[in-house]
Structure 1
């Protein structure tokens, strides 16, 4: 056990109240009152056209691949420095995966390297807003339109984060692609243990998504009185989570501003205090591009190499602080490396070997953390 764990899920105090209320309403399966409240929250707050809660962001990505009817022969471009779910959702459909490099200054996809990867078989571009921090969206949207390819925002960690466009407008992450996916895993700012969400910003996909979300049935149109019978009309699966998850999530959403503000205090403390601690070792603080308006999901350092990062991990562990590295490049993974035929992805591999994430959660005690790092046990 560590005195400072890497993560500790936040408890608002209303989660159990809403669970009891859901039970009293007599419905704990999917698509009840709390599911509707959560979905309406996102649609009204961020202007998303339609939202579907799912069991996880992984499922939301899989659902996106089904909605777009992607399959063998289709190419999907995505970053190599990403979680395996981003790739798995499309590999499961038999798509060919085309991996892109990261920016030199930041772990997100390098928007200048995408166009050379587009071919006549490219159907979709999946970008990942790393750690709730935006990709450079205007160039990416331009490429999506120019080449007529679907744009999917993997916004797993990007709840209540924004992109600052060239006109100075803050645009919610998840609202710019044809679709977007979010996570409510316990490591995320807003959580319900396990949970996710598919966002549709193109209304032409809504009917198909409703069928897929409802196990391939016309349940939604039947409930609206638009169909005479409840029937199997499409492929689909049990993507909708229970009211138990939705009730827990609603308690978190009520506190979204408080949670973000508390995390910002910790993020700012790191940024103000760590340079002096590590400046003589070549360890760097995050570089945040000017177009990013983040949600303070994570704080990372970049070390000079693998050996230094491991030394820093062990140093922090000896002080009772758990810090962890992040993604391993997907193009170099045991599953994919024999298939990969592209160029070396130097920047993604750099972040694989040098990036280290520090603990960041709402109830983190900064005084305790400082005492452990500077004074030891």
Structure 2
């Protein structure tokens, strides 16, 4: 017997907030997320793979942080500088082949000074085959494991190379992992300057234009090449809220600074955290196939919060989407549906809904009633109804 399953939609309405005003960005691609609630505030070409320039150094840093955490590197360990590392131009620590540099200095050299040479030193130390190219392949594999599906690395520094790409969503995801997985290292990203061994007095300042503005900015990484334009992957924390964003393709340092500050101010000033529904609160009941109960409650496993405009009034339209009827047996906590909502001018949010209670498989009489009902339904439909 064939079970007929249909996509079911239950419409809901929450009296919460008025429409928001969308942020119009001049960036080629942008992604802004409120980490505290998971609310995506801006998505413009966020899944398009683009040249990330030095913002891809965040992946080199993540792998290096993992190596220190696991003991494969130590902060006081001194690493040699190869001719290949020394050969890089652009932003550097001005290392040469006579140096042996502490890992901690290399990390700060990457975070604060965006040192291309420092990236290569780290890469060659951690590469499976001792080469930067081998390290780039490893980074690509590790990125896939982290869920970064639009990232491919050809080098450790973001130096222009065909096929070296990341999406803005991937950069935001990576930033969150750095912040949450390595709080002991994340403090480096707020440092405004780093002086290494008295060298390069012209390259001691962090290029992040948001640091020191008093808006809660504490990271992460700028980037610029001719192909990529000017970009920034940033984060700021105010009170209990944290916002992470990634932008790319701006035409100047000044435009990058203005756009980044405007995004942070918009995200914090124009939105407030609101409760949509509490964990365990039943929102609807879904029909159950072959169960001891005819329906099962649908509820979020955790409190559902979102960001909404600061002005009160209006309604938030939402819907519950599931493929039904759901088939017994069901265990409390099984994911059965999604709550989907999208405040005006914001990308939609999707929240899993779970079974509110167990539903055992029905016995013989239940199955008999179900089959009889299905037969009757099909007969009423006429000859096109099939079993």
TM-score, scaled relative to structure 2: 0.27
Select the structure that is richer in strand.
2
Which structure carries more helix by proportion? Answer: 1
